[in-house]
Amino acid sequence: MTMGLSALFRRKQRVLVVISYYDQRDREPMRNLFSAMQRFEAGYPHDTCLVVNRDTSGPLTLDISLPGLVVLERANAGGDEHRSLGSCLA
């Protein structure tokens, strides 16, 4: 049985916020999103996972700060390669 979102929020269970980012795009909108997430209270407990789809090699520099942020990197290979979000969960 699937629990509806309103029931989940009433129980104050943790929610996983997953943000997908392609490393060839401008980083400013993502920085703005993380900045807003720090300024405004979410209203319920959550964990945040950033999944970075990479087309480049070398070190990944995001220049973002968010307490408890988990970052997963994966090759930008479409649906053929996929990594479990299980490592995002606390």
pLDDT tens-digit series, residues 37-53? 989 988 888 889 999 89
Residue 81: band (very low, low, confident or very high) from pLDDT cuts 50, 70, 90: very low
pLDDT tens-digit series, residues 14-30? 888 999 999 889 888 98
**pLDDT score recorded for residue 16:** 87
3-state helix, strand, coil in the chain (%, to 5): 25, 25, 50
**Is the pTM for the entire model greater than 0.85?**
no
The domain spans of the chain are: 12-76
**pLDDT score recorded for residue 89:** 55
Query: Cα-atom radius of gyration of the chain, to the nearest Å?
Result: 15
**pLDDT score recorded for residue 61:** 79
Compute the distance between CA of residue 51 and CA of residue 88 in angstroms, rounded to an integer.
Answer: 9
